[in-house]
Structure 1
Amino acid sequence: MSHIAVLGPGAMGKRMAANLLKAGHQVTVWNRTAKAAEPLLAMGATQAATPGNAAAGADFVLAMVRDDAASAKVWLDAETGAFAGMRPDAIAMDSSTLSVDWIKKLGAEAAIRGVTLLETPVSGSLPQADAAQLIFLVGGSADACSQAEPVLLAMGSAVNHTGEIGTGALTKLATNALLGVQVTAIAELIGLLRRNGADAQKIMGIIAGTAVWSPYAQRAIGALLSGEAPVMFPVELVEKDFGYALDAAGSPDAAPTIAAARSVFRRGMDEGLGDANLTSVVKLFRT
Structure 2
Amino acid sequence: MPKKVAFLGLGAMGRRMATRLVGAGHELVVWNRTDSAATVLAAAGAAVAASPRDAARGAEIVFSMLRDDEASAAVWDDAQAGALAEMAGDAVAVECSTLSLARVAFLAGRCAEHDVAFIHAPVAGSRPQAEAGNLIFLAGGDMSELDRLRPLLEHMGRVRHAGPAGGGAALKLAVNTLFATQVAAMAEIVAMLEATGCDPESALAILGDMPVASAAANAAAAAMQAGNFTPQFPIELVAKDLAYMHAAAPHAPLAKACRAVFADASARGLGHENLTAIVKLFRAAHT
Give the TM-score of the pair, scaled to structure 1: 0.97
| Aligned match of 1:229 | 229
Cα distance change of structure 1 residues 227 and 271 upon mapping to structure 2, 3 Å threshold = farther
| Aligned match of 2:275 | 278
CA distance in 1, matches of 2:227, 2:167: 34
Amino acid at match of 1:275: H
Amino acid at match of 1:203: A
CA distance in 2, matches of 1:229, 1:242: 20
CA distance in 1, matches of 2:219, 2:29: 35
| Aligned match of 1:238 | 238
Amino acid at match of 1:246: H
| Aligned match of 1:179 | 179
Q: Contact between 1:65 and 1:71, CA under 8 Å: does it hold in 2?
A: yes
| Aligned match of 2:209 | 209
Give the CA deviation at 1:195.
Answer: 1.7
Give the CA deviation at 1:35.
Answer: 2.0
CA distance in 2, matches of 1:26, 1:219: 38
Give the CA deviation at 1:228.
Answer: 2.7
CA distance in 1, matches of 2:190, 2:138: 32
Deviations 1:23-42 (Å, cap 9, x if unpaired)? 11111000010222111101
| Aligned match of 1:31 | 32
SS of residue in 2 equivalent to 1:233: coil
| Aligned match of 2:120 | 119
Q: Contact between 1:227 and 1:283, CA under 8 Å: does it hold in 2?
A: no
CA distance in 1, matches of 2:261, 2:138: 27
| Aligned match of 1:109 | 110
| Aligned match of 1:63 | 64
Structure 1: which 5+ residue stretches go unaligned?
none
SS of residue in 2 equivalent to 1:202: helix
Deviations 1:38-95 (Å, cap 9, x if unpaired)? 1110110000001010011111100000000100110010000001111210110000
| Aligned match of 1:219 | 219
Cα distance change of structure 1 residues 226 and 284 upon mapping to structure 2, 3 Å threshold = farther
| Aligned match of 1:192 | 192
Amino acid at match of 2:68: D
Give the CA deviation at 1:153.
Answer: 0.4
Deviations 1:207-247 (Å, cap 9, x if unpaired)? 11111111212322221223332110110000000010111
| Aligned match of 1:135 | 136
CA distance in 1, matches of 2:223, 2:101: 31
SS of residue in 1 equivalent to 2:118: strand
| Aligned match of 2:254 | 257
Between stretches 29-38 and 117-126, larger displacement belongs to 29-38
Provide the identity percentage: 46
SS of residue in 2 equivalent to 1:184: helix
CA distance in 2, matches of 1:246, 1:146: 32
Amino acid at match of 1:213: A
CA distance in 1, matches of 2:99, 2:39: 27
CA distance in 2, matches of 1:78, 1:217: 45
CA distance in 1, matches of 2:220, 2:190: 13
Q: Contact between 2:94 and 2:118, CA under 8 Å: does it hold in 1?
A: yes
Please provide the CA RMSD for this pair. Answer: 0.9
CA distance in 1, matches of 2:264, 2:202: 28
CA distance in 1, matches of 2:46, 2:223: 36
